[in-house]
Amino acid sequence: MAIAAHRDDAEQTCGGTLLKMAQRGRRTGILDLTQGEMGTRGTPEDRAREATEAARILRVSWRGALDIPDGRVENTWENRLRVARVIREQRPQVLILPYWKGRHPDHYNASILGYEACFLAGLSKLVVPKQEPIDEPLSPHRPFKIIYATLYYDVRPTFVVDITDQFEARFQSLMAYKSQFSDQEAGKDLFPAQAEIRARLEATARFYGMLGGVTYAEPFLQKEVGLVEDLLQIPVQSI
């Protein structure tokens, strides 16, 4: 499951990886923390419809959205409990968070919020009730692995995921956000022209693909040290 501050963040940073896992028979999900009401382009209703279409393209099993104020994603106790509830409900084994540095405060705040919500979600004595009207407590759960999507920040990744076969669908999932990626007057100095979008996405994916010896890839970072059993099975040639 990926946690993102805004609808279309997951598509940009880890959409190909989510699709690849779905194609391998894994159940996948996206939790968007905000409704996107502060966005320069589009309305929350527009983005909700577009997110549904993007999820269909990426074969996402579940997609949900909270109503944390856009532009005010904060690591509060209340927000941690809200995210912890989703973690207990969906019970992901792998959680993808935004990298903890970046230009947009919502992105790096979502990273810390998601991590601390995972910690809370695993506390056996913490009661996190289901949403009304059902008041049944949810059993504790923590993801086994937390990884960070680093595409929004210039940092060397720990590993990359080959999305060569998923690149076209990933691109189409972004193009589902017509309110964001069509040429228009609003935000024209912030958003690339539609004719340039594919070239930019392809250049970035090719760069990370080059690091992993494939055509297209998405970058990720993990905090913990990896474990290797067989040195002959480590991928990516050194020389």
**Residue range 88-126, pLDDT digits in tens:** 999 999 999 999 999 999 999 999 999 999 999 999 999
Position 211 pLDDT exceeds 90 = yes
For the chain, what is the mean pLDDT? 92
Q: What is the pLDDT of residue 40?
A: 72
Which pair of structure tokens corresponds to residue 96? Answer: 């993808």
Q: Which residues pair with 220 in a beta bridge?
A: 149, 159
**Residue range 38-92, pLDDT digits in tens:** 877 778 899 999 999 999 999 999 999 999 999 999 999 999 999 999 999 999 9
Domain ranges of the chain: 2-222
Chain mean position to CA 129 = 25
Q: What is the pLDDT of residue 167?
A: 98
Task: For domain 2-222, say whether CATH 3.40.50.10320 is its number.
Answer: yes
DSSP structure string for 75-135: --HHHHHHHHHHHHHH--SEEEEE-S--SSHHHHHHHHHHHHHHHHHT-TT---BPSTT--
Residue 145 near residue 95 (C-beta atoms within 8 A)? yes
**Residue range 139-189, pLDDT digits in tens:** 999 999 999 999 999 999 999 999 999 999 999 999 999 887 765 565 556
Distance, in Å, from the CA atom of 209 to the CA atom of 202, rounded to the nearest integer, reads 10
Q: What is the pLDDT of residue 132?
A: 63
